[in-house]
Structure 1
């Protein structure tokens, strides 16, 4: 169903792919927007329980697009180092394909807690829980992942192989 990566030597292992998902703090959600134009929006996320979660207002372009067609892709760029003398960039990125949906009640709290942990771990737990409990005016969107791959520049692959 999903295309195999053409440059298979550059495929990240599952472990490295998930490390990128856990390390990065933002990505780009792509879905089918108004008039079937692609709609891509940057957002903060958490990879938790083998799903991608993000916070959203209860209405707007993103919610309308997900309700219209839940199939989405989500891209995270871990590195993008320009190497001008080689006319290239050394990169590492991940792309996931899946189906987006509004998280259910119990899942909502656990996912929101994971988001708050990721971005506000330095705040007292009591404050984090209070923030979550007071935020009933928003959705947590879950992406149930159907396919995920990571890829890195061939230069990074060669450097690893030299070790």
Structure 2
């Protein structure tokens, strides 16, 4: 990281930031064409969990290239100054890389869906109908690298 004074290295702090984020932007690439998509997600044990329809552009890209990049941020705030070029932004962001694995087993899918649901709810148990689990693709991203930056705080 170029600005090392802004780097967050404490994994407990990074994981707390991950748990506060609402959206994960997933960066994909196939045939040298990038594609970014915002997604709901969950985090646990150095893995991100996502869900999707069974078909679509992002699924096709991840099947062709399981290497992904992700970004999320919290606590963003515009900082205005007298001169326009001096404006800035307060933020805490995480950028990382990982490898996609499609989760196929019903019980593993339920566990991953619970992780995603727990990102947005204090509840710990959730009910799913079998047809819902069958209809969804569940994705695990094993994080291989992750950097966190805090600016303006």
Regarding TM over 0.5, the answer is yes
Q: Is 1:36 the counterpart of 2:37 in the alignment? A: no
Q: Is 1:9 the counterpart of 2:5 in the alignment? A: yes
Counting only pairs closer than 5 Å after superposition, residues 46-85 of structure 1 correspond to structure 2 as 46-85=42-81
Aligned residues: 147
For 2:40 and 2:109, locate their aligned partners in 1 and report how far apart those are by CA, in whole Å.
16
> Gapped runs of 5+ residues in structure 2?
none
Classify the secondary structure of the residue corresponding to 2:140.
strand
| Higher relative helix content | 1
Give CA deviations for 1:139-159 in whole Å, capped at 9, x if unaligned. 111101000111011x31xxx
For 2:146 and 2:137, locate their aligned partners in 1 and report how far apart those are by CA, in whole Å.
24
CA contact (8 A) 2:52 2:138 kept: yes
Structure 1 residue 121, shift from structure 2 partner: 4.0
| Higher relative strand content | 2
Residue number in structure 2 paired with 1:129:
127
Counting only pairs closer than 5 Å after superposition, residues 95-134 of structure 1 correspond to structure 2 as 95-105=95-105, 106-121=107-122, 125=125, 128-131=126-129, 134=132
Residue number in structure 1 paired with 2:150:
152
For 1:7 and 1:73, locate their aligned partners in 2 and report how far apart those are by CA, in whole Å.
20
- Alignment RMSD: 2.0
Structure 1 residue 14, shift from structure 2 partner: 1.8
Residue number in structure 2 paired with 1:140:
138
Structure 1 residue 133, shift from structure 2 partner: 6.5
Structure 1 residue 23, shift from structure 2 partner: 1.0
TM-score, length-scaled by structure 2: 0.86
Structure 1 residue 37, shift from structure 2 partner: 1.4
Alpha carbons of structure 1 residues 38 and 69: separation in structure 2 relative to 1, 3 Å: same
Classify the secondary structure of the residue corresponding to 1:129.
coil
